[in-house]
Amino acid sequence: MPHFQFHLDHTDANSMARVGRWDTPHGTVETPAFMPVGTRGSVKGVWPHQLQEVGAQMILANTYHLALRPGEKVVKELGGLHRFMNWNGPILTDSGGFQIFSLTELRQLDNDKVVFKSHVDGSLLELTPARAMQIQEDLGADCIMCLDECPPHDAPVSRLEEAVDRTTRWAQLCRDSHQREDQALFGIVQGATNPKLRERSAQGLLPLEFPGYAVGGLSVGEAPEEMYSTLDVTTPMLPVNKPRYLMGVGRPIDIIEGVLRGIDLFDCVMPTRNARNATAFTSQGKIKMRNLKHQTDTGPLDPECDCPTCTDYSRGFMRHLFTVGEMLGPMLLSVHNLAFYQKVVRELKTAIMANAGMEYRAEFLARTSGGK
Amino acid sequence: MPHFQFHLDHTDANSMARVGRWDTPHGTVETPAFMPVGTRGSVKGVWPHQLQEVGAQMILANTYHLALRPGEKVVKELGGLHRFMNWNGPILTDSGGFQIFSLTELRQLDNDKVVFKSHVDGSLLELTPARAMQIQEDLGADCIMCLDECPPHDAPVSRLEEAVDRTTRWAQLCRDSHQREDQALFGIVQGATNPKLRERSAQGLLPLEFPGYAVGGLSVGEAPEEMYSTLDVTTPMLPVNKPRYLMGVGRPIDIIEGVLRGIDLFDCVMPTRNARNATAFTSQGKIKMRNLKHQTDTGPLDPECDCPTCTDYSRGFMRHLFTVGEMLGPMLLSVHNLAFYQKVVRELKTAIMANAGMEYRAEFLARTSGGK
């Protein structure tokens, strides 16, 4: 694909972690990369230029939410997702599969389509692989996803196997109907935490030669160790020279563990959602901003952080904002939490270049009380 | 007062409007000036540096709200209001009088004090003139207000007269107990829409020689014409060479009408409150952002505006944000509405310098459907 080039600069001598650059039509993403999530076309509480300021290079938007409101045709009329959101860097959209299987009431599911009730107004909607492609082409992200089926992680094996096979079939149909050459279409490996099913999924998708592969169906309720061991068997099956994206993950420690296992791209609502719930990620671990102990603390949230929030605001002021329910509290903390995620990824890159990815994890765990 | 100098640069040949500069310990305010309101230490939905970017020079914070939460001692421990809010320009605090008489349940009111129930937790609190000074000294704003009594505008004359006299008495007590020389203490003229009472109030306060005077008790439910006619009789009684502040006003047209009657300072929650309710102020009048007609509008909110919102975002995107309830909607619109208010004041200044304040009002009314 002329629009997309993935270069690996270095692979850690002591882990599968790698540092690379991914060229897209809207700029280069340095990997590993964490993508802030703009579910409905906005990363909650943050101006797009602030995402850039804290170092985000690529962001994610959700197909399901945008297809419902305002509708992909409206986004298209408003100039496509980049113009719509005022984000001129690379964007990734998911397929909507995850939301359909987690947010909606299913009415019908077969090899051709899924029929479900909108969580907004209860209307009956249908999604097919071809329609998932049409929506994502109208939205116009740089990187788009095949429609996948996401059963509960603890579903019976027969059910998980069915979902893997349907995901493979749908991937073929997506690839066949996808037109835009300025979009990279990724296949999604499913199979929950079952190594055999992960292998079955990867073997079904690899012949389709997608320009990148996502790992789906993780961080959906299984224990972190199960996620890590699933990655241990899954990423080695994926092409070395293509970007690998772990969907919807996760805590900072999960990102570190994912990178050490060869993952390049991540997305998660956690930095912004936790910010709205008054939880800060810091170089010393998590902090609850409503705690009385911050009341007269004139120090910054995180002395190791140089984001606008830590530069200009005291813990005491931030505690006050959350106590009285001022919007500025979530706004300040979202910027900081996103800056923190970007900093972790930057530090990790530096460590990998020195073949010290494993040491970085140990150091991170030591200073953040086990990454909690 | 060495810390405060008020210079009049020009008075409109055809109205009482004037252009001046007011030096304060935290910088010079060009008057007429509109102050965004940071009720609880934050102008809702806006980063402080954005206030500066749209041209605000001075902001307001509310004594009543900050005294309840986090408490003035906490603000003081956190370095005072400027450091607390991260606003290094001039700040004005009101006395708390207006909130006590509008938000709380009164328990006792005499010549020495007012006792009321906190609207936050129902606890019984007492405010005296001396305590209003102590709180505002601890908060540390540049300009502070005497404790005043604000009865309903349609109260019986005897009740209004009582409030005027108590406000005068309290002003004397405030002046006597106020210590900080880096704070300008203003007296507040009361008297509702009754010219005789306004005169009585002014005559009581003028001998106290405050460095500036506020006009209180307006924009509290009376008709706009009543407010204007009250200003017609009130501002001529106030010293020409001192700043005059019209409290809690108002719509853009009210600010224009106030300036034409000799007012220098204004504050109002309207630009940010309306923004949260999806109402935009524009050069062509008010716009409801949820209206379906904006759905696929690729144009800016206000083509005449160069604020960050109008520069980078479409009406269609903003409508979407309000439709789905994204925080970014109020954030973008608050910045624009504040920019609009600042622009009106800037344009008005230019007009006054050309002795064309009245023409500016006519032109403003013509293009905004009567200022509605």
Q: What is the pLDDT of residue A241?
A: 98
Measured between CA atoms, the residue of chain A closest to residue B331 is A45
Distance (Å) from the alpha carbon of A70 to chain B's nearest alpha carbon: 6
pLDDT averaged over every residue in chain A: 97
Mean pLDDT of A51-80: 98
Q: What is the pLDDT of residue A1?
A: 66
Give A36's DSSP letter. Answer: P
A95 is in an annotated binding site: yes
- Is A267 one of the annotated active-site residues of the chain? yes
Distance (Å) from the alpha carbon of B313 to chain A's nearest alpha carbon: 7
Mean pLDDT of A165-175: 98
Say whether A74 and B316 touch across the interface (CB within 8 A).
Answer: yes
Say whether B321 and A45 touch across the interface (CB within 8 A).
Answer: no
Mutant choice from A326, A333, A334 vs B, greatest count of B C-beta within 10 A: A326
Mean pLDDT of A160-189: 98
pLDDT grade for A372, boundaries at 50, 70 and 90: low
CA angle A91, A97, A102 (to 5 degrees): 115
Distance of alpha carbon A53 from the chain centroid: 19
Count of structural domains, chain B = 2
Mean pLDDT of A195-202: 98
In a domain, B121, yes or no: yes
Q: Which residues of A touch B336 (CB under 8 A)?
A: none
Give the nearest partner residue to B323 out of A47, A69, A86, using CB atoms.
A69
Q: What is the pLDDT of residue B370?
A: 77
Residue finishing a domain among A220, A237, A268: A268
B146 is in an annotated binding site: no
Cβ neighbours for A288, distance < 8 A, ≥ 6 positions apart = A278, A279, A280
Distance (Å) from the alpha carbon of B345 to chain A's nearest alpha carbon: 26
Mean pLDDT of B48-57: 98
A38 is in an annotated binding site: no
CA distance B27 to B9: 17
Q: How does strand A114-117 pair with strand A105-109? A: antiparallel
Q: What is the pLDDT of residue B3?
A: 87
In a domain, B45, yes or no: no
Say whether B327 and A45 touch across the interface (CB within 8 A).
Answer: yes
Could you tell me if A235 and A328 lie in one domain? no
B285 is in an annotated binding site: no
Mean pLDDT of B208-236: 97
pLDDT in tens, A27-45: 999 999 999 999 999 999 9
Could you tell me if B160 and B97 lie in one domain? yes
In a domain, A372, yes or no: no
Could you tell me if B93 and B11 lie in one domain? yes
Mean pLDDT of A344-358: 98
Q: Which two tokens stand for residue A313?
A: 């605001």
Give the nearest partner residue to A42 out of B41, B74, B326, using CB atoms.
B326
Burial environment of residue A233 by CB neighbours within 10 A (0 to 12, 13 to 18, 19 or more):
middle
CB A143 within 8 A of CB A89: no
Q: Which residues of B touch A42 (CB under 8 A)?
A: 321, 326-328
Q: Which residues of B touch A316 (CB under 8 A)?
A: 70, 74, 77-78, 84
CB B254 within 8 A of CB B224: yes
Residue among B196, B189, B236, B186 at smallest CA distance from B216: B189
Mutant choice from B64, B82, B296 vs A, greatest count of A C-beta within 10 A: B296
Q: What is the pLDDT of residue A370?
A: 77
Give the nearest partner residue to B327 out of A83, A298, A327, using CB atoms.
A327
In a domain, A36, yes or no: no
Could you tell me if A23 and A151 lie in one domain? yes
Between helices A252-260 and A224-234, what is the axis angle to 10°? 20
Give A236's DSSP letter. Answer: G
Distances in Å between the Cα of B85 and the Cα atoms of B30, B160, B265 are: 22, 36, 21
Measured between CA atoms, the residue of chain B closest to residue A310 is B86
Distances in Å between the Cα of A239 and the Cα atoms of A16, A24, A262 are: 12, 19, 11
- Is A165 one of the annotated active-site residues of the chain? no
Could you tell me if B191 and B264 lie in one domain? yes
Q: Which residues of B touch A324 (CB under 8 A)?
A: 40, 65, 69
Query: What is the torsional sign of CA B280, B282, B287, B292?
Result: negative
* Residues of B identified as active-site: 94, 267
Distances in Å between the Cα of A289 and the Cα atoms of A321, B38, B277 are: 9, 21, 28
pLDDT grade for A25, boundaries at 50, 70 and 90: very high
Residue B314: is its pLDDT beyond 90? yes
Q: What is the pLDDT of residue B19?
A: 98
Q: Which two tokens stand for residue A311?
A: 């530069």
pLDDT in tens, B93-128: 999 989 999 888 888 999 999 999 999 999 999 999
In a domain, A129, yes or no: yes
In a domain, B104, yes or no: yes
Q: What is the pLDDT of residue A127?
A: 95
Q: How does strand A91-93 pair with strand A59-61? A: parallel
CA distance A128 to A148: 10
Say whether A327 and B40 touch across the interface (CB within 8 A).
Answer: no
Measured between CA atoms, the residue of chain B closest to residue A320 is B70
In a domain, B39, yes or no: no
CB A346 within 8 A of CB A331: no
Could you tell me if A264 and A282 lie in one domain? no
Mean pLDDT of A73-82: 98
Residues of chain B above pLDDT 90, percent: 96
Distances in Å between the Cα of B164 and the Cα atoms of B94, B197, B249 are: 17, 7, 20
Could you tell me if B210 and B301 lie in one domain? no
Could you tell me if B78 and B202 lie in one domain? yes
Say whether B74 and A320 touch across the interface (CB within 8 A).
Answer: yes
Distances in Å between the Cα of B321 and the Cα atoms of A78, A280, B23, B54, B353 are: 13, 26, 40, 22, 40
Between helices B328-353 and B357-367, what is the axis angle to 10°? 140
Q: What number of H helices and E strands is found in chain A? A: 15, 16
Residue finishing a domain among B235, B268, B301: B268
The ipTM of this complex is 0.98
Distance (Å) from the alpha carbon of B304 to chain A's nearest alpha carbon: 20
Ramachandran quadrant class, A41 (left: phi over 0; alpha: psi -120 to 50; beta: rest): left
Could you tell me if A203 and A288 lie in one domain? no
* Ordered alpha helix ranges (H), chain A: 48-53, 63-68, 72-77, 80-85, 97-103, 129-139, 157-177, 195-205, 224-234, 252-260, 270-276, 308-312, 315-324, 328-353, 357-367
Give the nearest partner residue to B40 out of A69, A314, A326, using CB atoms.
A326
CA angle A220, A97, A173 (to 5 degrees): 135
Could you tell me if B157 and B289 lie in one domain? no
Residue A145: which CATH number?
3.20.20.105
pLDDT averaged over every residue in chain B: 97
Residue finishing a domain among B268, B295, B315: B268
CA angle B342, B348, B351 (to 5 degrees): 150
Residue B372: is its pLDDT beyond 80? no
E strand or H helix that includes residue A242: none
Mean pLDDT of A129-133: 97
Find the domain containing A348 and state its range.
277-367
Q: How does strand B59-61 pair with strand B285-288? A: unpaired
Distances in Å between the Cα of A190 and the Cα atoms of A109, A242, A346 are: 17, 18, 29
Could you tell me if B301 and B326 lie in one domain? yes
Give A37's DSSP letter. Answer: B
Q: Is the pTM of this model over 0.95?
A: yes
pLDDT grade for B25, boundaries at 50, 70 and 90: very high
Secondary structure of residue B132 in the 3-state scheme = helix
Q: What is the pLDDT of residue B256?
A: 98
Distance (Å) from the alpha carbon of A65 to chain B's nearest alpha carbon: 10
CB A91 within 8 A of CB A33: no
Q: How does strand B213-215 pair with strand B244-246? A: parallel
Q: What is the pLDDT of residue B43?
A: 98
Within 13 Å of residue A23, how many CA atoms lie on the same side as its CB?
A: 7
In a domain, B50, yes or no: no
Mean pLDDT of B346-368: 98
pLDDT in tens, B247-286: 999 999 999 999 999 999 999 999 999 999 999 999 999 9
Set A12, A94, A142, A254: catalytic member: A94
Mean pLDDT of A150-163: 95
Could you tell me if A248 and A307 lie in one domain? no
Burial of B163-186, coded b for 16+ CB within 10 Å and e otherwise, reads bbbbbbebbbbbbebbebeebbbb
Give the range among A357-361, B51-55, B122-126 with minimum mean pLDDT: B122-126
Residue among A84, A26, A16 at smallest CA distance from A56: A26
CA distance A340 to A280: 9
